[in-house]
Amino acid sequence: MMKVSEINIFPVKSLRGITLNESIVENRGLQHDRRWMLTDRENVFFTQREFPKMATISMKLNGGGWVFSAEGVRDLPISPRPEVAEKRDVTVWSSVCEAEVYGQHVNDWFSDVLDTPCQLVYMPDDSTRGINPLFDKGNEIVSFADGYPLMVLGEASLEDLNSRLEGPLPMNRFRPNLVIKGSDAYAEDAWKRVRIGNTIFRSTKPCARCVMTTVDQARGEFDGKEPLRTFAAYRKAQQVIPDTYEAMGMGKNDVLFGQNLVPENVGDVIRVGDTVDVLETV
């Protein structure tokens, strides 16, 4: 029997995640997941690809707001959204959406930690950012995540990868929202629709992995060429989904690990220990 073994959210895109026992499923993904983001002064998104130290900034809920922590500086408490709602268009990959920008004291804190000018922005409820049109079934939206509301990964898939590596990697290297135990290695590749608790999720495409998987999430530093070097030997798109990768907008050499999901119904809570039922496979 397959069950949820881990639930993670990443409230600020590319910062350290928060592990939960349960979470509410919303149209954009799990509640609070990637509703905040750091950008440069031209409103273009930041990630660990350029600033691996982002992995070391943590946050926690404090009443109705958040508190950020980083080594060597005082904690930063903030309100859940900017007190003065200055709105700007921000860019995430090829999409542009509206966001609210926090004040100077907040932005100065992050700029000092990352040693580069930046600003914190929030995606309000009335800001919409669509998922990839290739997979949109009708006005489906996403937060500041790279492309889709959720990503799921099986424990067995990581175990198989680690059996091929000289040194094992932790699950947080891959930043999944949902971790599943009891599945076969890479079983999620074939999932088309799954039910977790009372929520049904539709898969879009396997998750193409990038240089962020080489960032040590504890140290906030690049850590060599793994796992991308090993993935290239057996997880290229042309090997995993040879007949469909082009139609999915992927290159033949993209390496795949995990599955992107879109919720078909929202508002329910998913919990660690919930049973995972596969309703359809590809």
pLDDT of residue 114: 98
Q: What is the pLDDT of residue 148?
A: 97
Q: Using DSSP bridges, classify how beta strands 29-30 and 36-39 pair: parallel, antiparallel or unpaired.
A: unpaired
Token readout for 153 is 């990964």
- Is residue 70 over pLDDT 80? yes
Residue boundaries of the structural domains of the chain:
3-8+147-281
Would residue 43 be called left, alpha or beta, if left means φ above 0 and alpha means ψ between -120 and 50 degrees?
left
**Residue written as token pair 């859940």:** 80
Is 122 a residue whose pLDDT tops 90?
A: yes
Q: Identify the pLDDT of residue 85.
A: 77
C-alpha 134/C-alpha 82 separation (Å) is 34
The residue assigned the tokens 């949109």 is 136
pLDDT computed for residue 52 by the predictor = 98
Residue 83 banded pLDDT, cuts 50, 70, 90: confident
Query: What does the radius of gyration of the chain's CA atoms come to, in whole angstroms?
Result: 18
pLDDT at 138 over 80: yes
- Model pLDDT for residues 31-65, shown as the tens digit of each residue: 999 999 999 999 999 999 999 999 999 999 988 89
Mean pLDDT for all residues in the chain: 97
Nearest to residue 255, comparing CAs of 230, 279, 218?
Answer: 230
pLDDT score at 57: 98
Phi, psi (degrees; rounded to nearest 5) at 87: -100, 140
Q: Which CATH architecture has domain 3-8+147-281?
A: Beta Barrel (2.40)
φ, ψ of residue 200 in degrees (nearest 5):
-105, 135
pLDDT at 2: 98
Question: pLDDT tens digit string along 168-211?
Answer: 999 999 999 999 999 999 999 999 999 999 999 999 999 999 99
Tell me what pLDDT residue 193 has. Answer: 98
